[in-house]
Chain A
Amino acid sequence: MSSPYDVVVIGGGMSGLMAAISLVEKGRNVAVISKGDPVCCLSTGCIDLFSRGDDPIGGIELLPDYHPYRLIGVERVKESLDIFQDIMRVAGLPYVGDLRVNRKILTPFGTDKITCLVPETMESADCDPDEYIHVISFKGLKDFYPSYITSGHVNSGYSIFDAGVSSTSAIAERFEDKDFLQEFISWLLNLSLPDGKIAFPAVLGTRSSMSIFNEISNRLERDIFEIPTIPPSIPGERLFNRFKNLFLEKGGSLYWGKEIASVEKLGGRIEAVTLSTRGRPTRVQGTLFILATGSFVSGGLYASMDDVRETVFDLETYLPGERKDWFNEDFFIPGHTIEKAGIRVDSTLRPLDSEFSNLFVCGSILAFTEVMKYGCGHGTAIATGVAAANMCEELL
């Protein structure tokens, strides 16, 4: 569909696409603008809801009341994750998990990652310490060392397959070839492995991952699971591609790969945005706008020496304390002060102190999300994305 759109979503990550899909499913005319592929492509593909405890929903209930989860309410968080699971089931990439119980998955470093919803290919990844695990790796695959991975498991073994290629993308692509898959399965059967689980790096196919996974599991007659790899991360790519394609299938419009050059305002409202190209800027007009550009890594926030700025609309940005408080040697520690930075919103997800009446904000750009501290990245993205879509729906 074309301009003017009912809703223009800026940011093509988990939150933006979740909002956009919720809206196109209700028959709205929606555009998504993204300057590039989102960090979701680099992720494990797992949905962390609240990873600093055993019970995610219980943990959310104890968060400070200005946290985005609390702003929209626990019930809405639960509903949005149900919607997510329904969507993924239909899209052929089912997710499993219990919102009340966190689960563990094995990482390539041999540690456990705590998460909530996982793709079905990681369902069996929570292993008993004395269970036999056999790790399969591929010749030349970087940063995937079986002895590392099984360091916590006395009862384990590994084998290495030569796929002729050594990157995650290329191996995953080979699995889409039926002959290759058969050759691989025959090789596995010939290994005559002892009883127990078999673990693979998450490279078992891209588009047809579920059928490839099921075929291997059925032929070997045992539980198998995938271990997410360092990027290029195939489970992250699978999740993103399903999301994006679902949006396209439902008639959504994509503007990909260009940054926003300017914003047209009209009487306290955003009228349109333009995308920068070398020639005439592309104009995208909308009734309502959703900002889902992410935090620092995604470029929604930009930190200069003495300030933090929101990069599209120059919204008022909340900053925690003084400049000296933003510093910590380790950016990735849970609870880094700068993580609190972002856009403050009211319970309708409208930015506080903003001149725009037709703008909603969702995802990790929201102030106080603190993704690292609470382990809640994809969870807040999905929940606030659905919530922003609902807010738009009320106004349309």
Chain B
Amino acid sequence: MESDFQHCIRCTICVENCPVFRVNPEFPGPKQAGPDTERFRCDEETSLDKWIGLCSQCKRCEIACPYGVNPAEIILREQLSYGEKHFRPLANRLFANNYYLGTFSSALALFVNKFASLTFIKKVMNVFGLSTYMPFPGFYVHSLGRSWRWKGRRNSPRKVVFFYGCYLNFNRPDIGRGIRDLLASLGLKVVMPKQVCCGLPALGNGDIKTARKFARRNAEILAGYIDKGYDVIYACTSCGLTLTHDYPGILNIPSGKKIAENTYNLNEYLVKLIDEDYIKPEFAPVDLKVAYHIPCHLRASGIGYPAASLFEKIPGLEYHVLDDHCCGLSGSYGFKRKNQETAIKLGRTAAATLKACNPDYIVSDCGACRMQLGHFAGLPALDPSEIVMRSLANPAKITKK
């Protein structure tokens, strides 16, 4: 472990950037929860930091810290250690195993979707610590994992593995298929091998064992493809951050470094192909005004905002880039009742700043951000690829409201 907490000079820049600290006085903020308390945490001690789970792991403190301290990671380690030594609530157990939940729910999609919308069931969920301030995302029987019938292009010098992640897999397979077809239409060989959850929900819910189990399975599959000359592409920025940051980092996966080095954000990859003159897409005008919400985990990836570079190339598209606010949902964080109030406050603030641009659509790379902001802004929320697909006249059609 990096003992970087000693580099903290207590400047409070991380505190200024902590969304949870601003709205929930129970959370002492990243400085205190991270580097300040770290010196009192010994290996043998049982963690007493009851508030440690209030950190949403948005990583804004790490992005802001000018001294290379990683408060969010210090806190994450403590969350995991707290999770090991204390009883984990049902909500945490459920969300840690989000992948199985998704597999089950999409198999029984019709039933589950109806069931989750019943008022009585919502009450039961609340009793078990789940929050229902906004509807749970709908599930699809024909998830991405069941796209085995798709064959695609046989051969191409550029080969990519699409790591689609749970949200696209179970809840928005249409976007996933759109991205797959977009990549194929640009002349790439695309494969979507059987894959599991990236492991982030388990990490975020204090269960490192489950996170490692998922990560090992993915690592074996992805590393195999990388050895055969494939690049890995992700669209969900949280999955992406887990693959590139946590696999070689906190999860300590042996092939983690190799995966991190060969894994690309979808939009970053498109920009790269354009820069290398490998593709020369002709962007048709898109007469839309969008507010582009930068997910915290995209900021944390350190690759800039590549979708904005693509938007720049699309004639007629008016876009506003906004990166000051966390949407507040942070994956499963906001779906837990104890975080509900925090998530709602942050969601309202972020949605209000997006709406101030008076957009036709909200755009964000992260499925959770889209759910939350779409809900609070009352506007449709799209993945950047949906805008790109529209410009490149891909089958996936979106129309102006």
Contacts and interface: CB of A to CB of B under 8 A. Distances in A.
Interface of A: 1-3, 31, 35-39, 41-42, 164-167, 169-170, 173, 176, 207, 231-232, 237, 241, 245, 248-249, 251, 253-259, 275-280, 282, 284, 298-299
Given A35-B66, A254-B304, A256-B63, A176 B349 contact: yes
Contacts of A166: 25
Contacts of A275: 302
16 contacts: A1-B309, A1-B312, A36-B66, A39-B66, A42-B12, A165-B25, A167-B15, A170-B23, A170-B25, A231-B16, A232-B12, A232-B16, A254-B304, A277-B245, A278-B260, A279-B262
Contacts of A253: 304-305, 308-309
* Residue among B17, B248, B262 with most chain A CB within 10 A: B17
Given A42-B12, A166-B25, A170-B23, A280 B66 contact: no
Contacts of A255: 302-304
Contacts of B263: 279-280
Contacts of B68: 35, 259
Given A241-B324, A277-B301, A278-B260, 17 more contacts: A1-B308, A2-B309, A36-B65, A37-B13, A41-B16, A164-B25, A167-B29, A170-B21, A170-B23, A176-B349, A237-B16, A248-B323, A253-B309, A255-B303, A255-B304, A257-B65, A279-B261
Contacts of A231: 11-13, 16
Interface string B359-385: 000000000000000000000000000
Given A1-B309, A37-B13, A169-B22, A282 B67 contact: no
B45 interface: no
A259 B66 CA distance: 9
Contacts of B300: 257
A165 B342 CA distance: 14
Interface string B236-257: 0000000011001100000011
Contacts of B23: 170, 173
A317 to B, nearest CB: 20
A322 B22 CA distance: 47
Contacts, number: 127
Interface residues of B, number: 50
B228 to A, nearest CB: 18
A38 B263 CA distance: 30
**Shortest Cβ-Cβ A-B pairs, 8 listed:** A279-B260, A36-B66, A257-B63, A258-B302, A2-B309, A37-B64, A231-B12, A173-B22
B112 interface: no
Contacts of A258: 302
B65 A278 contact: no
B353 A42 contact: no
Interface in B279-315: 299-306, 308-309, 312
Contacts of A284: 304
A160 to B, nearest CB: 17
Contacts of B64: 36-37, 257
B17 A37 contact: yes
A15 to B, nearest CB: 15
Contact of A167 (B17, B21, B259, B304): B21
A90 to B, nearest CB: 16
Contacts of B301: 277
Nearest to A33: B304
Interface string B3-44: 000000001110111100111010001000000000000000
B257 A254 contact: no
Contacts of A237: 16
B248 A278 contact: yes
Interface in B309-354: 309, 312, 320-324, 349, 353
B271 interface: yes
